[in-house]
């Protein structure tokens, strides 16, 4: 006598998902990397951190050394893919007087950094992905050059030197700034807070995201704005410069609102260095620090 077994849709779905998970299971290997580089107190120093996949976080401290800690995560279809990834890609430390660099690099057969930058394109045919979450502690006055590309934010806290910061698919968050520089991302927000007004021009750019920058209340500077799909808001008192949009006082705690789909420029106080803010799809906030 034949027997019929009925399986509910939910049970069947669960079984199929379990089978798919088993079929697509990947090999994951994680390890920690640490490096300490002594530096000369009181000498100019540039710290470079160039990641590809993963986050970058830099914090200022009061020590005469640069400390790096990174979590490396390698995912592959096979253990052989993980081994190959470790042979072909790596986070390398390089230093010379006045400069310290932590960069994801292509490796040669001996495991040393190869000439040229790492393209590190982990496509379907590579069989592996390599991700680094990098944390670095630096003397507070250093100049920073920071970048990542995807799956991570770039964060810097308590560093007072100049800065160049870039991301592609992620946010940028900077606090305790006192230097000048540029910040760029493509798909992400930018937040920056200055402890002291920058002495030179600064720029903040994103394509799809919000710009939110806070300056000291005694700032004197010129602002240059551009946004296609968004508003510009500031609680600094401003005077329009030649490209003149409509400036209206709102009921939002005395803020000014400036609506413009083209470039616009304004002066704060007696003017000074030009700080530029460009986004395509997003709002721009320029705030006065609360004391």
Task: Report whether 53 contacts 70 (CB < 8 A).
Answer: no
pLDDT tens figures, 3-49 = 322 333 444 445 544 444 445 579 999 999 999 999 999 899 999 99
Give the residue from 287, 289, 266, 271 showing the smallest Cα distance to 221.
271
pLDDT of residue 252: 58
pLDDT in tens, the chain (291 residues): 333 223 334 444 455 444 444 455 799 999 999 999 999 998 999 999 999 999 999 999 999 999 999 999 999 999 999 999 999 999 999 999 999 999 999 876 655 665 555 555 444 457 899 999 999 999 999 999 999 999 999 999 999 999 999 999 999 999 999 999 999 999 999 999 999 999 999 999 999 999 999 999 999 999 999 998 999 999 999 999 875 545 555 555 656 555 544 578 999 999 999 999 999 999 999 999 985
Q: Whole-angstrom Cα distance, residue 55 to residue 62?
A: 23
| One-character DSSP codes across 32-67 | EEEEEEE--TTS--EEEEE-SBS-EEEEEESSSEEE
Q: Whole-angstrom Cα distance, residue 282 to residue 260?
A: 13
| R_g of the chain computed on alpha carbons | 24
53: left (phi over 0), alpha (psi -120 to 50) or beta: beta
- The SS3 assignment for 77 reads coil
Q: What is the pTM of this model?
A: 0.82
pLDDT of residue 197: 95
| One-character DSSP codes across 102-122 | EEEEEB-TTSSBPSS------
pLDDT of residue 17: 45
Task: Report whether 206 contacts 184 (CB < 8 A).
Answer: yes
Q: Whole-angstrom Cα distance, residue 280 to residue 262?
A: 10
């Amino acid at each position: 006598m034949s027997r019929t077994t009925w399986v509910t849709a939910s049970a069947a779905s669960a079984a199929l998902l379990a089978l798919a998970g088993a079929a697509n299971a990947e090999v994951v290997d994680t390890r920690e990397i640490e490096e300490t580089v002594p530096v000369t107190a009181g000498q100019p120093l540039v710290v470079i951190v160039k990641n590809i996949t993963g986050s970058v976080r830099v914090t200022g401290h009061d020590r005469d050394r640069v400390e790096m800690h990174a979590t490396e995560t390698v995912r592959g279809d096979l253990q052989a893919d993980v081994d190959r990834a470790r042979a072909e890609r790596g986070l390398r430390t390089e230093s010379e007087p006045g400069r310290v660099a932590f960069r994801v690099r292509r490796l040669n057969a001996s495991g040393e950094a190869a000439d040229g930058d790492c393209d590190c394109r982990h496509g379907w045919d590579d069989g592996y992905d390599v991700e680094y979450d990098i944390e670095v502690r630096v003397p507070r006055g250093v100049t920073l050059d920071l970048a990542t590309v995807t799956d991570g934010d770039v964060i810097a806290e308590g560093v007072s030197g100049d800065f160049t910061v870039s991301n592609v698919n992620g946010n940028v968050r900077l606090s305790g700034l006192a230097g000048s520089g540029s910040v760029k991302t493509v798909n992400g927000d930018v937040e920056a807070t200055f402890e002291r007004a920058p002495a030179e021009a600064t720029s903040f750019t994103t394509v799809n995201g919000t710009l939110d920058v806070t300056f000291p209340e005694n700032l004197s500077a010129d602002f240059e704005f551009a946004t296609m799909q968004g508003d510009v808001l500031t609680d600094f008192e401003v005077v329009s410069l030649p490209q003149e949009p409509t400036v209206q006082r709102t009921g939002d705690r005395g803020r000014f609102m400036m609506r413009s789909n083209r470039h616009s420029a304004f002066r704060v106080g007696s003017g000074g260095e030009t700080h530029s803010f460009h986004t395509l799809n997003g709002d721009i906030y320029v705030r006065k620090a609360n004391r």
